[in-house]
A and B are shown apart, each in its own frame.
Chain A
Amino acid sequence: MADLSKLEDAQIVKRCLGGERALFEEVVRRYQNNIYGLCLRKVADLGQAQDIAQETFVVGYENLARLKDPARLKAWLMGIASNLIRDYYKRRKIAGLPEGHDVELVGLDPLASVEQRERHELLYKAIATLSERYKAVLIKRYLEECEYPEIAEELGLSVGAVEVCMHRARKALAGALKELMPDV
């Protein structure tokens, strides 16, 4: 059996629509980090980000036949995630919650020490204070494990600009950490 990771997106979509629905698992594996990374960038609530990521794939699966250009599967899924994230913020507005991020970390390893968990929470809060661009670069690099050329393409920057941006993001993060964890 062919290695599924070598299949192009268009081939996978075609085979899924042809009846091999289980192949959608490969789509999930391929893009779960990208989708999740996008959700984490925009939605600071970890649980919500995971839910939205999951929902993105469910919606994608159910509407796969409506994808006009199978080669653009990733962009299509990102679009779905963006819409879901937008809905999420609309709901925040409905409930009268502030538009700023409400940082909550749930789902961390309960076996980790209290100190570790607190540190992670503070770090997450520090990331949440950064600008959108810095967050994007950090999450794409650390979570989605994208290389700089890929990040550059997605953000519309040159590779060098992305590298400078990463440096500044790390610097801003270090500064934020210093504020939040002065003892460390």
Chain B
Amino acid sequence: MNHEHLDIVMNRAIDGKASPAEREELARALMADPSLRAEYDELVGAHLSTVALFERLDLPSDFTSRVMRKVQPDHVPTDADLTAIIDDNSLGTQLAGEPQPSPAPALRRTALLRRQATITTFLSGIGALSAAAALFIAIGFLTGIIGSRPQSSPEVSGQPGGPAARGGQAPAPAPKRESGTPGEANQEPGVPDSPKPQPEQPERPAPREEDEEDRLPPVKKDIVVEEPQGPEPRETAPVPRVDEPKKDGAGVADQGKDGTKPPPNPGVSEPPKEVVGPGPKPVPPPEGTESQPKSAQPPAVWGRLLSAPSGRVTVPDENGKPVVLDSEVELRVGMKLSTSANCVSVFNWRGNGHFAAGRRTVIALASEGFVFEDGEIAVDFYGERNGPAVAFGAYMLVVKSGTVLLEYKTARKVAISQSSGQSVLKLGEQSLVLEGGAQVAVEFGKMPASPKLKPFVLPEWCGVVRREISLSRIERQLSTRKLSSSETTRLNDQLARLGRLPHTGFLLSGLMNRVLESDAFAVKDLIALLGEVEDGFQSNQDLSLDDAIKLAFECTCDVKNYSEWSKRYGGKLREFAKRDHMKEKKAEEEKRAKEKAEGPSGRDAVKDGKKSDEGDKSLDRNQGDHK
């Protein structure tokens, strides 16, 4: 009997697809050959184990719901989820728990459609209630509690169980769709929007007093703001008033420790050695604003919304209705910002850091940072003072330097990825240091284990906003050059790619400014140069992107043109690789010596697999069907 034919028959028998004739044939062969019997038994064992394993590896039963919640905040949940809502549990709180049995797909769909009409109303009600509750509680935290804490311990929403918006409430869309109108979050092109509620005209904010600006931290004189040249800043939409902080409220925390008043907020800040342009003009207060009673101080300035290249950033007014913020608007402590379904946006904090907020992100601005309530946010900090403190649940993450990405995975799980630099995660007295490449999964209630070193590239949306930041830093230089549309596209693409990689923002903008200042380089040379920097980084495992940028910067000195730069840079990279190679060689030799000392270890399974794989190549050629 042809052995290959028998292999196929055994296979079919295991799959339960053998015909009666094949089963009989197999039974005879197994009886006649004990070794074949043993082989067959092994195969059956492997099959059964694999079936059991893949049952465990199945996607979680709520995978579809999770996806739909990410793409549509007003998604109607499935039956299993409905029970969770009705029982007032949050969705997605199954922390590695038992997978819920899901009904048969057809039955689920029918039931789903039947309930759709009722659920829409139900969720809208929950959404409105949750939004109102979240707003009141958040304002209570931020205006009352924050201010009463000393400066050294930034506000944390210390309530166990997480920020108010999440505590035991029904799941999103609550904080994101204050209007409660279904479908409002659908901003995707081509999708007709539901009628949007018109935001009411909010009260105009109090006039800014001189000393408000002075409360901001001191800024280095040569730190620049890359303000777009052009007409006077347009009058921004009036910012809704947030409840006044208490007298010992947030504003006090922003003063220096010695009580001195810091100079005005310049907006985007750069570290020394990078003078790009004049400082910004402060946004004039809207005319006709009400004056504040002297005893109540307006909330301190937190920073600025720099841009929202897509979608909208909203803040609730006094009635809880969302008001869209224009870019360049000044942000104040106590505001609660939400980004829409298609919105990525970038904020500047105190002139020393940027926050890139992803879609459907909710943050409440605090004096020492912000409370992170939902969505995903990347923090870039490069100042010399203490970095921003990000509070979520009972946790606080203090970003000391570099870039960190936080993402709400479920109501009680936050993923933190440190791209570069360092931050410290605190829970009560415990703390955990995170450095470049570190990732932790935070499950509310306990400190995560040691951070894992995992590859980390910022998500695409983040690359987009960091590109915006990079472009804003070189805008003055760029404006003196004429870019063709293809150059614009290529530069944008390159910066978006670099934006996702771990690097220090001001180093990159420093390099770009140097290149653009020099007559030796055209814009196309800048694009090519950035490409070489990226390639150099990708092809040298031990070379960080910051180092690649610094090497590139060094090579810009005294070169006549791009081609001279390129040769010099190539030389530098080769030198680096050579140093690397020597290190690798040494490490390899040490490893071999160690293995030799420990004795051989084999993985015949691997060899077997590979051998059989070679045999498989014959399968590609003229393998007849066995029917």
Contacts and interface: CB of A to CB of B under 8 A. Distances in A.
Given A5-B105, A131-B613, A32 B190 contact: no
Contact of A124 (B53, B58, B105, B455): B53
Nearest to A119: B49
Interface string A137-171: 01100110000000000001111110111111011
Contacts of A142: 50-51, 54
A65 B625 contact: no
Contacts of A159: 625
Nearest to B41: A174
Interface string B1-25: 0001001101110100000000000
B606 to A, nearest CB: 5
Interface stretch (B134-142, B228-236, B511-519, B615-623): B615-623
A3 B538 CA distance: 49
B68 A108 contact: no
A1 interface: yes
B590 interface: no
Given A32-B64, A131-B609, A174-B42, A95 B106 contact: no
B191 A19 contact: yes
A179 B542 CA distance: 35
A87 B50 CA distance: 29
Given A143-B54, A164-B4, A164-B7, A28 B605 contact: no
A164 B75 contact: no
Given A143-B58, A158-B623, A174 B616 contact: no
A90 B53 contact: no
B43 A171 contact: yes
B106 A3 contact: yes
* Residue from B51, B66, B455 having most chain A Cβ neighbours under 10 A: B455
A110 B50 contact: no
B49 A33 contact: no
A10 interface: no
B542 A96 contact: yes
B623 A170 contact: no
A91 B457 contact: yes
B53 A28 contact: no
Given A54-B70, A95-B453, A120-B52, A163 B11 contact: yes
Chain B CB count within 10 A is highest, among A108, A139, A174, A178, for A174
A8 interface: no
A138 B623 contact: no
Given A62-B71, A95-B456, A129 B11 contact: no
Interface in B96-152: 96-99, 105-106, 109-110, 113
Contact of B612 (A19, A93, A168): A168
A108 to B, nearest CB: 5
B75 A163 contact: no
Counting chain B CB atoms within 10 Å of each CB, the highest count among A33, A109, A160 belongs to: A160
Contacts of A5: 105-106
B192 A19 contact: yes
B327 interface: no
B608 A172 contact: yes
A97 interface: yes
Given A24-B68, A131-B609, A179-B605, A95 B53 contact: no
Given A5-B106, A58-B67, A90-B455, A129 B501 contact: no
A129 B11 CA distance: 21
Contact of A175 (B50, B342, B605): B605
Nearest to B95: A110
A66 to B, nearest CB: 10
B457 A131 contact: no
Contacts of B190: 17, 65
B56 interface: yes
B606 A129 contact: yes
19 contacts: A1-B110, A4-B109, A24-B68, A24-B72, A46-B57, A87-B457, A88-B455, A91-B456, A97-B453, A123-B49, A123-B53, A138-B50, A160-B626, A161-B623, A167-B10, A167-B11, A167-B43, A173-B50, A174-B45
Interface of B: 4, 7-8, 10-12, 14, 39, 42-43, 45-47, 49-54, 56-60, 63-64, 66-68, 70-72, 75-76, 96-99, 105-106, 109-110, 113, 186, 188-192, 342, 437, 453-457, 501-502, 537-538, 541-542, 603-606, 608-610, 612-613, 615-616, 619-620, 623-626
Given A133-B616, A172-B605, A178-B605, 6 more contacts: A65-B189, A88-B455, A92-B455, A131-B609, A131-B616, A170-B50
Q: Give the 5 A-B residue pairs with the shortest CB-CB distance, closest first.
A: A91-B455, A176-B605, A131-B613, A161-B623, A161-B619
